[in-house]
Amino acid sequence: MNRRLRFLTAGESHGLALVGILEGLPAGLPLQASDIDRDLVRRQQGYGRGGRMRIEQDRVEILSGVRFGATLGSPLGLVVRNRDWANWTERMRVEPGGPDPRPVRVPRPGHTDLAGALKYGQTGDLRDVLERASARETAMRVALGAAARALLRDLGIQVGSYVRSIGQADAEDAAEVFPELFREDAEGLALLADATETRSLTEAASVRLVTAIQKAQGRRDTLGGVIEVVATGVPPGLGSHVQADRKLDGRLGAALLSIQAIKAVEVGEGIRGGRAYGSETHDPIFLAAGRLQRTRNHAGGLEGGVTNGEPLVLRAVMKPISTVPDALPSVHLGTLQAVPAHVERSDTCAVPAAGVVCEAMLALALADAVLEALGGDTMDGLRHGFARLRLSSRTAVGHVFLVGPMGAGKTTVGERLAKALGLAFVDLDAHLETGAGATVAQLFVTEGEERFRQREALALAELEQSNAAVVAMGGGAPCTEEAWRRMRRAGVVVALSAEPSELVRRVAAAPGGVATRPLLQGGEPEAKLAELLRLRQRWYSRADATLRTDGLSPDTAAGAVLGLLRALDGPLVRPSGAV
């Protein structure tokens, strides 16, 4: 399925463990087991699950591919142990033995039991089939998908999902109740969904969905539903129209349809489109804020199998769970007598969990498309190409945000750069000081760092709405996901860097010296700064372009940044136009 980011899983539902290999992640991606466990826990939530969820409490072990918290470029090897294994050591033993004293001989309509047994000649004990067909395997997909998600998140793509309906019960549409999250922050949307037990977006909807599941339980039955899967921050140009097997709509469809019990996938408003006029269906194009945009997104972000810069919106339809407690008619494969189907511990409804699996499969397919379009043995190499794609629908770059540690030259270089570009210059710290009537050092003492960060976030939100400018960001200001979303939406981000000794030398030489820098107090300044850099580097390294300023005069550095910006110009930027 995937080409550049290949993966395989192995493992039986009640075997020792699930294992997974993900091959093709670039080197230098920050990744920890906790990033993966977060999604494993999310997969285990949701009203309507069977008893197994209480036994499992999945945790990943990273076996390979990561060192000191970052990927190496070598295959990522993962293990998720089955906590239930202790109860199955005899019945699932690897060594010669058997047969199982309790073989499964009556296939469940809707499950893999019969088709798989006929294919592999395993009619003597359907457990040989169902152990692998079981959606327990999706725990490993979710683990591998979490690594793909980390890659996408670093580039500014967020993946999320929520439940639209279960059985006949409908939940709210994100486009209506949370339009901004729906367009800008798919992960924020998913976290909101996680807060209800059905992963729908509001408590009121969740009550309706729970009632539907309880009704199914009451009649000893099961239910499916519809999940909306969304990706935001997607640049134009992923996938390709030039060959059938490169069309991203087909590949995303295949990724979602490969999930157990997902039986239909809709791209955007695909189904409604079949009943509407073209004028009602297609998404008009307009130019605003230096960027080609759409008035609506019926296409779900895909035209010709290529992403068009709008969010990806897909809908996955899950059939009802096939282990129906009031079992359907079946046939005993030994006696060939008509009997009710086999029933074992099972979910009534797994739509909320399936949403998390959909996110994982979307993340894997999307990260694959990013790597296919841009290559990338290292994250640094990938980021540059990605920035070009992201900026390709712009007619002007927009704001230029300078990020990096104190002393890197954000203000000195920024002023000169602004002049060269004919743009206003904003120093975020100075802007805040004017607004608050106090220095940054005073604000840290009187209000504390947290309040100061809120002020920074607010100032950034205001700046985003104003005319394009060169903005020198405070050292800690770009250290949140929200700041990155805003900066990327408003323009381009350039990181300035220098050796810690040079940074301290410059800070000491500036008016007020080291005393004006609250975060350098209480220790040796160079060591304090090196520690700060260690914590913040993963944020700075997300920049669209990076310039080391040691040994450069402010004018030369400004010229160099100008060159970096020109290298990011897309096909719509006019040669004579200002940035």
Ligand X SMILES: Cc1cc2nc3c(=O)[nH]c(=O)nc-3n(C[C@H](O)[C@H](O)[C@H](O)COP(=O)(O)O)c2cc1C
Comparison of 260 and 411: residue with beta carbon closer to ligand X = 260
Q: List contacts with ligand X (CB under 6 A).
A: 50, 111-112, 133-135, 138, 259-261, 319, 321-323, 346-347, 350, 353-354, 357
**Shortest Å, Cβ 351 to ligand X:** 8
What is the distance between the alpha carbons of residues 233 and 255, in angstroms, rounded to a whole number? 20
Q: Quote the CA–CA distance of 505 and 571 in Å, as a whole number.
A: 41
Do residues 570 and 392 touch, judged by C-beta distance below 8 A? yes
Q: How far apart are CA 494 and CA 564, in angstroms?
A: 8
Residue nearer to ligand X on the CB measure, 256 or 440 = 256
Report the residue number, 151 or 226, with the smaller CB distance to ligand X: 226
Q: To the nearest whole angstrom, how small is the minimum distance from the Cβ of residue 303 to ligand X?
A: 29
Rounded to the nearest whole angstrom, what is the least distance from the CB of residue 58 to ligand X in the complex?
12
* Residue among 432, 449, 428, 438 nearest 535 (CA): 449
Label the pairing between strands 399-403 and 469-472. parallel
Q: Which is nearer to ligand X, 347 or 456 (CB)?
A: 347
Q: What is the DSSP letter of 320?
A: P
Strands 306-307 and 302-303: antiparallel
Do 411 and 427 form a contact (C-beta atoms < 8 A)? yes
Give dist(CA 231, CA 173) in Å, integer. 15
Of the pair 217, 293, the CB lying nearest ligand X is at 217
Residues 465/468/471/477 CA torsion (nearest 10 deg): 30
Residue 11 falls in which region: left (phi positive, over 0), alpha (psi -120 to 50) or beta: left
Identify which of residues 344 and 524 has a Cβ nearer to ligand X in the complex. 344
CB of 4 or CB of 342, closer to ligand X: 342
- Could you give the CA distance from residue 4 to residue 246 in angstroms, rounded to a whole number? 12
Rounded least distance, CB 169 to ligand X, Å: 19
DSSP calls for 80-116: EE-GGGGGTTTTT-SSS----SS---SPPTTSSHHHH
**Least Å from the CB of residue 140 to ligand X:** 12
Q: How far is the CB of 359 from ligand X (least distance, A)?
A: 12
Closer of 138 and 393 to ligand X (Cβ): 138
Closest separation between CB of residue 355 and ligand X, Å?
9
Q: Which is nearer to ligand X, 138 or 196 (CB)?
A: 138
Nearer to ligand X, 135 or 423 (CB): 135
Smallest CA-to-CA distance from 145 within 344, 315, 294, 2 is with 2
User: Least distance to ligand X from the beta carbon of 347, Å?
Assistant: 4
Residue 350: CB minimum distance to ligand X, A = 3
Q: Is the Cβ–Cβ distance between 428 and 569 less than 8 Å?
A: no
Amino acid (one-letter) located at 379: M
Instruction: From 568, 553, 516, 528, select the one nearest 401 (Cα to Cα).
Output: 568
As measured in angstroms, the least distance from the Cβ of 575 to ligand X is 52
